[in-house]
């Protein structure tokens, strides 16, 4: 989220699940998959330099999923998120959900980046929880921890989303979130990008807003579009450099089920 690229502040805003008008209550098979592609830009201000086509692959087996899994969760997720993590759905009820995941993370990647980047990496553990406040309002949080102790530290994302069903096949979602991180996380993430980043301490230093549209064309096909804004806050916003991000994407998905 979203939100996408750096602009999704914050998977927290993306971590909120929502009942969707496009959802269809069915008993899922033991395993399934989703394929697709997206045309995206991580920085709309430099569109010609950052635009790219990327594949989307998802696989689900029981409570385990890779990427977006079989797409059923995508149908009720508050915004589309391309994620390379391996997830285990620990709790999934009508009102609450909790999933645990592992993800390779580049230490020097800016907050919210979903693109593969070069640089030193670590293994992140992540817990994502969500709660339906009402039928349209959702709240969520996400916690990450550097499991290899390479300096990424911990982060905590808090988010809120509003789901607006347009008809039985489409919906729009507006979400917002902020991210708290330890000093080590901020210093690693922005050290190569901001002079004076070595002075950053624990705190809330990142925010994000996202608007997503999803439309299910048929049982097997759907398309989506999203725009997002993100920015720095607190001490991070006082450092020299670009403090705003704008990203967007449009994509097509095929659901096997």
Residue 137, domain CATH: 2.40.160.40
Q: What percentage of the chain carries pLDDT values higher than 70?
A: 79
Distances (CA, A) of 220 to 19, 36, 49, 167: 19, 11, 33, 18
3-state DSSP of 207-228: EEEEEEEEEECCCCEEEEEEEE
Give the chain's domain count. 1
Tell me the C-alpha distance between 163 and 13, whole Å: 13
Token couple for 143: 């916690």
Tell me the C-alpha distance between 253 and 145, whole Å: 31
User: Residues 74-129: pLDDT tens digits?
Assistant: 655 544 455 568 899 899 888 888 999 998 888 877 665 444 466 788 899 999 99
What is the average pLDDT value for the chain, to the nearest integer? 81
User: Residues 195-238: pLDDT tens digits?
Assistant: 889 999 999 999 999 999 999 999 899 999 999 999 999 999 99
The burial of 54, by beta-carbon neighbours within 10 Å (0-12 exposed, 13-18 middle, 19 or more buried), is given as: middle
Domain extent at residue 205: 5-255
pTM here? 0.81
Q: Residue 177: which of 2, 9, 33 has the closest Cα?
A: 9
């Amino acid at each position: 989220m979203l939100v996408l690229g750096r602009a999704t502040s914050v998977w927290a805003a993306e971590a909120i699940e929502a009942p969707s008008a496009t959802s269809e209550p069915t008993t899922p098979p033991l395993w399934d998959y989703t394929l697709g592609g997206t045309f995206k830009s991580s920085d709309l201000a430099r569109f010609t330099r950052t635009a790219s086509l990327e594949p989307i692959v998802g696989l689900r087996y029981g409570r385990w999923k890779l990427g977006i899994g079989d797409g059923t969760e995508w149908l009720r997720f508050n915004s589309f998120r391309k994620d390379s993590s391996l997830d285990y759905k620990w709790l999934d009820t009508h009102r609450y959900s909790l999933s645990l995941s592992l993800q390779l993370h580049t230490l020097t990647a800016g907050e919210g980046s979903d693109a593969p980047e070069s640089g030193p990496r670590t293994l992140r553990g992540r817990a994502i929880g969500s709660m339906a406040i009402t039928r349209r309002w959702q709240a969520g949080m996400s916690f990450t921890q550097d499991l290899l102790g390479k300096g990424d530290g911990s982060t905590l994302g808090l988010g809120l989303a509003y789901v607006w069903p347009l008809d039985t096949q489409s919906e729009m979602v507006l979400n917002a979130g902020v991210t708290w991180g330890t000093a080590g996380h901020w210093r690693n993430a922005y050290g190569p990008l901001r002079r004076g980043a070595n002075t950053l301490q624990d705190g809330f230093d990142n925010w994000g807003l996202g608007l997503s549209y999803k439309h299910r064309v048929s049982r097997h096909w759907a398309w989506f579009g999203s725009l997002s804004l993100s920015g720095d806050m607190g001490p991070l916003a006082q450092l020299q450099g670009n403090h705003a991000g704008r990203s967007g994407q449009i994509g097509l998905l095929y659901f096997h089920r």
